[in-house]
Amino acid sequence: MSNQHAVPTNQKTLKGYIKGVMLSLSLTVVAFLLVGLHICPQYQPFLSNVWVVAIVSGLAIIQLIVQVHYFLGLNRQEGKWDFSAFLFTIFVVFIVLIGSLWIMYSLNYNMMH
Amino acid sequence: MSQIDTHHDQDEIAHFGFWLYIMSDCLLFAALFATFVVLHDPAYAVHGIKEFIDLKFVFAETMFLLASSFTFGMAILSSYHHHTKKVMFWMIVTMVLGGCFVAMELYEFAHLIHEGNGPAVSGAMSSFFALVGTHGLHVSCGLIWMLVMLVQLAVFGVNSDVQRRLGYLSVFWTFLDIVWIFVFSVVYLMGAL
């Protein structure tokens, strides 16, 4: 009985780690290749910078979800408090980032015009 | 039975406490990212960050960190089966990979300062060094923590306390890998455009 309790509730598996690392690896390679080709002088850029920024951000967010799922094993059923703290943190991070950018952009705009 | 349950509950509370620390660390990094994004604008920087970004170098750093996350996962899996030697082996592999990452970062910093792009040059460089440096400092702390865990493993083997601490360290190490995703995306990849 005590032996069972010594084992953490969110047991990880080899399969999960391999899946996580493979997905992370492919997402990273795609992001680096995309930017590498985009700035390479031999290739004609096929996307505008804004698109590249959007795709790289998207890939980063997907990789965040992959690593949180496969490496941290965070899920709604087992770690209710962990999960709500995580959502709240994302919310605050969003406010800090978007808020700072918004304020600084607006300040910059008002200084110039 | 009830004693075991209480112990189990305490473990869960302790785990939640550590998770909250990690979440607060996210806020620290959010502030540093916001600072970097606001200040890095090439229009105001003396030397743009673009000039010194070497994508191959950063890709190698990323691979070291990702591989170290995986090898640390192997250490955690071995700890389920109480294979002390295996846990120690994977932990040492993780430390070597993490050490390579820190060494590359220090080399990059030294190179930048030598070239005259130190943190005092511009707001962009200050925020760059603050963000990347804070991440590197966390990784270095993780390496020291691993060293401490190696000693504990050698002395106590894999008992429930050591297992719990390994669990915290694994959360910390994965968190650093996740922060690095955003560092390479925002600082290096978007900076290289």
Q: How many domains does chain B have?
A: 1
Q: What is the domain extent for residue B41?
A: 2-192
What tens-digit pLDDT sequence spans chain B (193 residues)? 455 666 777 888 889 999 999 999 999 999 999 999 988 875 555 566 777 889 999 999 999 999 999 999 999 999 999 999 999 999 999 999 999 999 999 999 999 999 888 888 888 889 999 999 999 999 999 999 999 999 999 999 999 999 999 999 999 999 999 999 999 999 999 988 8
Which of A21, A82, A100 has the CB atom closest to B16's CB atom? A82
| Residue spans per domain, chain A | 1-73, 76-113
Determine the Cα–Cα distance for residues A49 and A98; give it in Å rounded to an integer: 20
* CB spacing of A71 vs B73 below 8 angstroms: yes
Q: Contact, B174 vs B69, CB < 8 A?
A: yes
Dihedral, CA of residue B30, residue B32, residue B35 and residue B36, to nearest 10: -110
Q: Is B157 helix (H, G, I), strand (E, B) or coil?
A: coil
Return the number of CB contacts < 8 Å for A and B. Answer: 120
* CB spacing of B189 vs A31 below 8 angstroms: yes
| DSSP assignment letter at A44 | P
Q: Is B138 helix (H, G, I), strand (E, B) or coil?
A: helix
pTM equals 0.91
Cα R_g (chain B), whole angstroms: 19
Residue of B nearest to A56 (CA): B185
Cβ-Cβ contacts under 8 Å for B166 (sequence gap 6 or more): B75, B76, B79, B87, B149
